[in-house]
Chain A
Amino acid sequence: MPKRKDIRKILMIGSGPIVIGQACEFDYSGSQACKALREEGYYTILVNSNPATIMTDPNMADVTYIEPLTVEAVTEIIRKERPDAILPTLGGQTGLNLAFFLMKEGILKKYGVESIGADVDAISRAEDRELFKKAMTEIGIGVPKSGIARSVEEGMKIGLGIGFPLILRPAYTLGGSGGSTAYNKEELETNLAKGLEISPVHQILVEQSVLGWKEIEFEVMRDCVDNVIMITSMENVDPMGIHTGDSVVVAPSQSLTAEEYAQFVNLSKKIIRKIGITGGGANIQFAQNPDNGHIVIIEVNPRLSRSSALASKATGFPIARVATKLAVGLTLPEVLNQVTGRTTAFFEPTVDYCVFKICRFTFEKFPGTQRILNTSMKAVGEAMSIGRNFKEALQKGIRSTETRRFGLGADGKDKITDAKLKNPSADLIAEIKEKIRVPNDDRLFYIRYGIMMGLSNDEIYELSRIDRWFIDNLREIVETEEGIKKHRNRHPENALKIPPEILLKAKKSGFSDVQLAFLLNSTEKNVRATRKKHNIKAVYKLVDTCGGEFKAEKPYYYSTYEKKSESEPSSNKKKVLILGGGPNRIGQGIEFDYCCCHASYALKEEGYESIMVNCNPETVSTDYDTSDKLYFEPLTVEDVMNIVDIEKPVGAIVQFGGQTPLNISGPLAKAGLHILGTSPESIDIAEDRKLFQHMLKKLKLIQPDNGTATSFEEAADVAKRIGYPVVVRPSFVLGGRAMEIVYDEKSLKDYMEKAVEASPERPILIDKFLEDAIEVDVDAIADGERCVIGGILEHIEEAGIHSGDSAMVLPPHTLGKDIIETIKKNTYAMAKELKVKGLMNVQYAVKNNIVYILEVNPRASRTVPFVSKAVAVPLAKLATKIMLGKTLKELGFAKEKEVECVAVKESVFPFVRFPGVDAVLGPEMKSTGEVMGIDSTFGMAYAKSQIAAGQKLPTKGNVFISVKNQDKRNVIFVAKKLADLGFKIFATSGTADALSSNDIEVKMLPKLGEGRPNIIDLIKDGKVDMIINTPAGKMTKEDETKIRSHAILYNVPLITTVSGAQASVNGIENLIKKPHMNVKSLQEYHKKIK
């Protein structure tokens, strides 16, 4: 059926900042949707608060709004733009919820906006538990049995009727808190009582537990004439009980019979019809009892999801693009399958490989949280790998996560040695069994230990409920490992004795050269040379959606070890390799993927062939049409060199993918790969402490006093010399990992002993900490001669908070003209000295009118997309062209832009996922994503950034203030202003005294444990609208932690710095003055930039 002509303007909602559970997969789906809509000639209006996305590039939609994703802001946009339709299914849960509220509040109806893809009934049937259960029951599909209890007796009756084990979920508690499992009558009784007490409405859901059942997912699509197709099945290696976003997943499913598979397909079709999706896709999650095949449905996502992004990348089928076309009334047979270029989208992709997804966790960032996995998602990123068998995909997947592991152990990094496993102590046996039983991020490695220790498949199955098929594949890897070990070298430099057939078998099972070198007591170089000698080389196979049945047009490759390669490198074109950023993690996320995509666009514009290497399935960079060629591969030296060997590119771009490509750029350059842009020598100067100091001296620039140390004694000497407080950190880390501010010698000793390993090659870096200094980030671009600054960003929070976590404003709002001039001059000087070709980021600290240089990074920074959007200059694209030889003048960017608006970047944090962790900012980065607030004044821009980040700044009500001594003077102004604005101020004794002696009316609250009601009671009762609480120096008082974690749990805006409080008050004042939010598109802002 032809596309709809009765609609012309379509509004699309993005998913906002990157948070755990909602990452760059929605940039991928949103970008595809924008492209698809414009391809069909629709006028596209996009709203998203996340500036680090490709979709918010001003050329992706006709009009782009970077505004908070709230009903209020989007209503304004609708009022202004008058779209005919809204597409709610491509912006994750955020987009869907927002569209749902717009429907519920009658806004869509009022402005005559139709919801396409999924209407309000469809969304309700999928999202509302009761309606969902009813709908599924009507079509005869089982749901886990459940009932709602209001008393222990009622709960016992329901529970005993269902049978054990049972899941108990107290109603209306946040983040699934208070949930428990009951295995027997006694536990049921106690847990019911506890749960009922926790629930504010005294209700508890008693549900059949399907813990340990198989978790099977299907991706389904349906068009408006009821054509339904399956994209793929996926099987969670981890059984039910772990959030699918945290599970190890394999596609397609491995242990279903043909008949079972058909049954799942059949159910999926019935479900998507019943839910009523009439132009789009859905993700359906089932649980299957492994003992009798009984199937129940867990949930349906009536939208594009993380799983659908994975399914897209796993099969090559562009689900988001097709879903968008279906939403505007096209049918599947009318949409072309661009991968084959000759078949339609009406078919079911089939694969001839095995896909593996594994997650990236960052527990190390949140000490104090338990390293276990459950139904609340904790992963911050994921990697996907493709192999011709499960073993190969698994080992490639593990090394794709970049946790310094190179496969399933056997890489010299195993926590438990082979010797110990041969003769395990009772404690060790217990430990290993426990780690296999309780889901955690190291479980695969512990299964390996278990196998090596002598556990059988059945024993491991009983502990973990992981299907025996997967366990046996792990066992095969271990057996291959044993076979390799037999050919161990006596001396690492000796020639390898391993027979070629064993070497080939190892490669076919995914062993990396690093693992082989470790097992054979050799070097990676030696292993590689031996392989090449025996002609054991990686070949590349195509991902083609059809198992080879049709010729594929889109070159999307993965490596394996077989006879024939399908990648035919072109010889007549200059090629450039772009190394991507791998899985998202805290400190390295979507911003870098944005830069890599721009590199690819620039290469194409300049007539080069762009070749992308990346392994993150969530990204735009791994989309099949972003680059000329895509290699879905781990970013290790071996894997990249294999590609270099066959493609022979003129060079590689490593400065865009964050730390990942930089970490391997040294060995890659040594192996002969030309690194484009700023020379490795210059990178060295910037990264090497001594060379850097030397350069600063030459340029007469100032740096905080500093030194390095490899022991506590040395560190203490340095600290004494430069004076406390000092910032300490290990060398070569990302996102401020293990970085701390140390106020005295005792803490320094603790740090040196516990926190890090130091060595002469990797000393501890010690810097004078500039208390209360203003930090400034500069993103600049240089062509070797000229340097132009993209943007100067002033941090809102004072020095000491990681730049990735700090809010920033562009242009700077408190720095004087002379300071800005100094910053500019310093930047130019360093760019020239370092002969920077491409991007450069400099971090400054300003204190007492002195400009200190903290750090120079001659590469893309996290803020590049933000700055690009604020000043309307595609910095990453220009930088790429410079690397290819263009000058800034030729590119028409010879002088800085002047912006009339104010743009604020704010960070979002995952504290709610890590109960027990103190929600306080410091030198170690903790945020997962960012938003942009843009308006004509700082106050409004800041307010928008806060709203967009989920901090609902109040315009009236109660504010609780409790600050450390140093902050008391500064908080007085804040409190006064709040009081003037009509807020009621609450405080604990110290702060209250300071405030009342300055004539501010304040209600004193008792300290925790000294009387009730205290602040915690007020939070629980919803009587606090904002909390200002700065941590008391180094030591965090237990009370403070408790207050902060309750604020997070109850979603009360929490501000932990005085500078943040000042900015917030400024924002609140603006919100009170201007109750109607002004919305303005990026295109409108950009028109005014000179």
Chain B
Amino acid sequence: MKAALIMEDGSLFDGISVGVAGETIGEVVLNTAVTGYQEMMTDPANAGKILVLTYPLIGNYGVAKKFNESGRVWVSGLIIKEPSRIYSNWQAEGSFDDFLKREKVVAAADVDTRTLAITIRDKGQMLGMISTRSSDRDKLLKKLRQEKKNGRADFISAASTMKAAEIKGKPSGARIAVLDLGMPQSLIRQLKTLGCNITLLPYNTSAQAIRAMKPDGLIISSGPEGDAAIAKVVDEVKTLIGKVPMLGIGLGHEIIGLAIGAKLKKMKVGHHGVNYPVRGADSFKGEITVQNHSYVVDEASIPKKAGVNITLRNINDKTVEEMESRTSKFISAQYSPASPGFEEVNPLFCRFLKLCAPKNTRPRNSSANTETLKRKECLEYAKA
């Protein structure tokens, strides 16, 4: 069966239907990562998007439950070049194709994804529709424009936990509340590794209720950008700033930005991949980060009185990737603080725990990414 992708600018890409038949609409976003298809599709941050994977061979290592970032697939559609016919990995529990069918994903394969990527790069991210019913450009375009009007953007309410849920950690572990806007499992796992006692909170939990819990710290999780629920969350977070140590991740970072009075800017293409360089001002030392965002906090709009330090910027386009406020006790990261390896924790979480309980927490990994190392120190460090 054929499948076609129509985009707002009228460009049409043919492919072959994989997953299930149907029609689906969403913002078409690229991701340049070579691996991680299952994680990307199940990350609520990608809810409602039509995800284009630029790496052409997908499904090679199959799927397994442990790679799910949430209980379901959140992308509205998927565009790939070539699905693998078989899967081969010791951890695999099933095939990618079965997964698409089971999760009822409308997807197109055999698409010239490279040309599609270049189209998006040149024209910017835009709305698109995958259809297995028609490949008539005019007809599809008309339908896309119609659908645009009644497009939905209320994924947070669906992705968030229905009611507060506790995840027990070590008795001595920090008590961390997570405002769940679509918190991915991989981030929760890192908190568990740190022994945190986690309380997942529904997105619409009131500031009052959160303060009443007296958590050591609050994480505003990542989640789908541009969602209808954001304004409401911002209102609650505003009253929490400076009252509870806070960590914003992804959308959570954007929410903190809005809460302190800054504005968001939508980027032409956004950052979607695993190879984004960031560093602090006047520092030669940086980090390669995982990123998945189409908006950024507009640096110029951050109010001076907020006492915010921009701790990391993207090296190429200089956008804000991490900020921190000592007075307001928050750190917020636009990038995703992915785990560096098995059972390991991104240093960002360690920094956050330090902020929560400065005296009794010893971060496992002391190489904070804002440190400027002098050459000599570095040589010594290397020898150590």
Contacts and interface: CB of A to CB of B under 8 A. Distances in A.
A256 B36 CA distance: 10
Interface in A238-263: 252, 254-263
Most B CB atoms within 10 A — which of A225, A334, A343, A388?
A225
Minimum-distance CB pairs A-B, first 7: A266-B341, A258-B36, A548-B117, A348-B275, A547-B32, A469-B88, A258-B35
B132 to A, nearest CB: 18
Interface of A: 1, 121, 223-230, 252, 254-263, 265-267, 269, 273, 276-278, 290-293, 329, 331-334, 342-344, 346-354, 388-390, 457, 467-469, 472, 476, 541, 546-551, 562-564, 566
Interface in B351-383: 367, 372-373, 375, 378-379, 381-383
Given A224-B375, A254-B57, A549-B273, A347 B81 contact: no
Contact of A278 (B38, B39, B84, B379): B379
Given A273-B382, A344-B316, A350-B273, A225 B284 contact: yes
A176 B285 CA distance: 43
Given A344-B315, A548-B54, A225 B35 contact: no
Most B CB atoms within 10 A — which of A262, A347, A551?
A262
Given A262-B341, A563-B112, A548 B118 contact: yes
B216 interface: no
A858 B325 CA distance: 74
Contact of A390 (B36, B57, B344): B57
B32 A546 contact: yes
B115 A225 contact: no
A126 to B, nearest CB: 13
Given A259-B342, A262-B341, A347-B277, A352 B113 contact: yes
A329 B375 contact: yes
Contact of A331 (B112, B284, B383): B284
Interface residues of B, number: 61
B67 A226 contact: no
A331 B315 CA distance: 13
A566 B38 CA distance: 30
Nearest to A262: B341
B91 A257 contact: yes
A1 B375 contact: yes
B73 to A, nearest CB: 16
Contacts of B375: 1, 224-225, 329
Contacts of A566: 114, 118
Interface in B144-173: none
A389 B82 contact: yes
Given A226-B378, A390-B57, A562 B115 contact: yes
A402 to B, nearest CB: 27
Contacts, number: 188
Interface string B269-307: 100011111010000111010000000000000000000
B57 A226 contact: no
Most A CB atoms within 10 A — which of B86, B88, B114, B279?
B114
30 contacts: A224-B375, A255-B88, A261-B34, A261-B35, A265-B341, A266-B344, A293-B90, A329-B375, A332-B277, A333-B286, A343-B316, A346-B315, A347-B275, A347-B288, A349-B275, A350-B54, A351-B55, A352-B56, A388-B82, A390-B57, A469-B86, A546-B275, A547-B117, A548-B30, A548-B32, A548-B114, A548-B121, A549-B32, A551-B121, A562-B112
B292 to A, nearest CB: 13
Contacts of B286: 227, 332-333, 346
A455 B255 CA distance: 58
A257 B67 contact: yes
Given A261-B35, A389-B81, A347 B56 contact: no
Interface of B: 30, 32-36, 38-39, 54-57, 60-61, 64, 67, 81-82, 84-91, 112-115, 117-118, 121, 269, 273-277, 279, 284-286, 288, 315-316, 338-342, 344, 367, 372-373, 375, 378-379, 381-383
Contacts of B277: 332-333, 344, 346-347
A229 B277 CA distance: 10
B340 A333 contact: no
A344 B277 CA distance: 9
A196 to B, nearest CB: 38
A868 B284 CA distance: 44
B288 A348 contact: yes
A350 B67 contact: no
A259 B118 CA distance: 28
A393 to B, nearest CB: 10
Nearest to B113: A352
A278 B277 CA distance: 19
A349 B276 CA distance: 10
A566 B344 CA distance: 42
B86 A457 contact: yes
Contacts of A349: 275
A564 B341 CA distance: 39
Given A348-B275, A350-B273, A546-B32, 18 more contacts: A223-B284, A224-B379, A226-B381, A266-B341, A266-B342, A269-B340, A332-B277, A333-B277, A333-B315, A334-B284, A343-B315, A347-B288, A352-B113, A352-B114, A389-B57, A457-B86, A469-B84, A549-B117
A256 B341 CA distance: 14
A294 to B, nearest CB: 10
Nearest to A472: B86
Nearest to A387: B56
Nearest to B344: A266
A562 B114 contact: yes
Contacts of B82: 388-389
A293 B341 CA distance: 14
Contacts of A269: 340
Nearest to B279: A333
A546 B382 CA distance: 30
Nearest to B287: A227
Nearest to A274: B382
Nearest to B118: A548
Contacts of B115: 562-564
A681 to B, nearest CB: 44
A1084 B114 CA distance: 52
Contact of B56 (A260, A262, A354, A472): A354
Contacts of B339: 262
Contacts of B112: 562-564
Contacts of A348: 274-275, 288
Contacts of B378: 224-226, 278
Contacts of A389: 56-57, 81-82
Contacts of A549: 30, 32, 117, 121, 269, 273
A121 B382 CA distance: 11
A266 B288 CA distance: 12
Contacts of B86: 457, 468-469, 472
A469 B60 contact: yes
B85 A476 contact: yes
A476 B57 CA distance: 14
Nearest to A470: B88
A236 B109 CA distance: 27
Most A CB atoms within 10 A — which of B81, B90, B113?
B90
A388 B61 CA distance: 18
A547 B341 contact: no
B61 A255 contact: yes
A525 to B, nearest CB: 28
A352 B117 contact: yes
Contacts of A351: 34, 55
Contacts of B316: 342-344, 347
A546 B275 CA distance: 9
A4 to B, nearest CB: 9
A388 B344 CA distance: 34
A352 B89 contact: no
Contacts of A354: 56-57
Contacts of A266: 340-342, 344
Contacts of B56: 352-354, 388-389
